[in-house]
Structure 1
């Protein structure tokens, strides 16, 4: 029986593995996609808000030429950390069930069954998009994930949202020749937008090169059009693609299946903030999954500490 089974091979899952390795514990990391799968699916042009040192795990230096690392910098860093430390990683293996057994848990995956005394759940929130729940959302042209702006050259693009991902999409596709319309539910661009990007989008809106509808919502999407509800009434515009940058959420169904209690308002999972142990003994949470619907609460730089907290608790209970 393993000491720990870690579900999720993202930066925080890897950090948990490094901490477990340092403590001399036996463990296995299981990831349903590729290594650091969420980061891999970030836009190819993405630049982190954090500096490289704040993304470091396990005390391994993250050296970059620029102050703000890119997606590719991060992929290279976390790959080298994982392989250089010989972390036991099973990739493209999805966990389907976690059941209590005498002395720990039985974990069933798409490929095998494991037994472990403790389980760490570090699954993030990037796999499930928050839907718009409007007519036409199921059309192929409506996308909740974004890779490269070149694809949208000379297209009429509606971008829904006002935080970092939406603003990046709007600016990048505009600069590749798209006709961009922003649909923002609130009265202004979010103050969470990266400080060096926010003036750029505000100026593009002021000059009219990017059209923005504030206090508005996308109402319906058709093959060649989109309807926007604005303070002045319903507006219909030509449309080729909708980039619904409406955010993402953890797999609440899986958490509930494991017996983890969730709050009624923002579905925040129950856990001890000093140890990260949930209401299920021996089942721990690490990383952004801890925030429930409040996905701005936790990110890599402030949840790295979860790894040391969890391993300290596990070692202390041996």
Structure 2
């Protein structure tokens, strides 16, 4: 089925920033469509069940719509409810569970998905970075006992669990699994717990390691994963450790293949996409970037709170151009 309508802008990704782009487009009277390959705010939906945001609720707000939470730092469930209510209350034009497969630039852009075909004068890519995990590239990583995502600690009760990494997600997983009765071993490439770990959590994990409740191997890495063991290389030796599950929280990356496929240049060793910081327009005229994806491999650079402004920058640029072509 083909859609012959020419949109002013198509937004790829229905995360918080994509939703904000839709809000601003609607306010400016632009025709728009949001296309999301999963559920609404897909990345947030896939966060751990018990996750609590680092940011306070007001920093996660869109378009001055109040975000009321029980505590200063809201939970995943509160965020899901907040963004869903924004989408429903504002009757945003969003297609869920539809994947963009190809973008071709003619006089306008032709966007082909797995369900339909669309045309648009402009495109905003706001796809985040949560879909592609950074692999360890070791033998046995494809075993069913290995996951690069973490949801609920109950699964790991009374099991030997290796948590790989020392970021916020890895620390949260290690503490939750330990408190549900899991036997946790952390495998950390660096010399210590990460500096960006939430300040109210870092003393907790450090104390659990110090007292021996959680075992941690620093300056270490997994070399091989077996059905009942893992092989770990430390600074001094190679060890074989009993293991039931590996939770490898080694970070994620944007879909660089997709960006290159649509013509966006990636700069330096961090693969940062090329864009104008004032308009957020890429090297491809009419294609804009919004949100976390702007940081390339530097996925810690952009968050909801500091990239909300991207929607205003982009939509203002598109609206101004639209005004010039209609008069």
TM-score bin (small chain)? over 0.9
What residue is the counterpart of 2:41 in the other structure?
36
Q: What is the CA-CA distance between 1:264 and the residue it aligns to?
A: 3.6
Secondary structure (helix, strand or coil) at the match of 1:317 reads helix
Q: What is the CA-CA distance between 1:155 and the residue it aligns to?
A: 0.2
Deviations 1:5-64 (A, max 9, x none): 000011000000001011110000000000001100000000000000000112211011
What residue is the counterpart of 2:225 in the other structure?
221
Q: Distance in 2 between matches of 1:306 and 1:248?
A: 22
* Residue of 11, 19, 26 corresponding to 1:14: 19
Q: Structure 1 stretches (4+) deviating beyond 4 angstroms?
A: none
Structure 2 unmatched runs, 5+: 1-5, 323-327
Provide TM-score, normalisation by structure 1: 0.99
Q: Distance in 2 between matches of 1:59 and 1:283?
A: 26
What residue is the counterpart of 2:135 in the other structure?
131
What residue is the counterpart of 2:250 in the other structure?
246
Q: Distance in 1 between matches of 2:74 and 2:178?
A: 23
Q: Distance in 1 between matches of 2:61 and 2:106?
A: 35
Q: Distance in 2 between matches of 1:314 and 1:244?
A: 41
**RMSD of aligned residue pairs (Cα, Å):** 0.6
Q: Distance in 1 between matches of 2:65 and 2:31?
A: 21
* Residue of 34, 50, 58 corresponding to 2:63: 58
What residue is the counterpart of 1:79 in the other structure?
84
Structure 1 unmatched runs, 5+: none
Does 2:285 correspond to 1:273? no
Does 2:95 correspond to 1:95? no
Q: What is the CA-CA distance between 1:101 and the residue it aligns to?
A: 1.4
Q: Distance in 2 between matches of 1:4 and 1:95?
A: 14
Q: Distance in 1 between matches of 2:154 and 2:304?
A: 29
Secondary structure (helix, strand or coil) at the match of 1:215 reads coil
What residue is the counterpart of 1:255 in the other structure?
259
Does 2:121 correspond to 1:117? yes
Q: Distance in 2 between matches of 1:228 and 1:170?
A: 18
Provide TM-score, normalisation by structure 2: 0.96
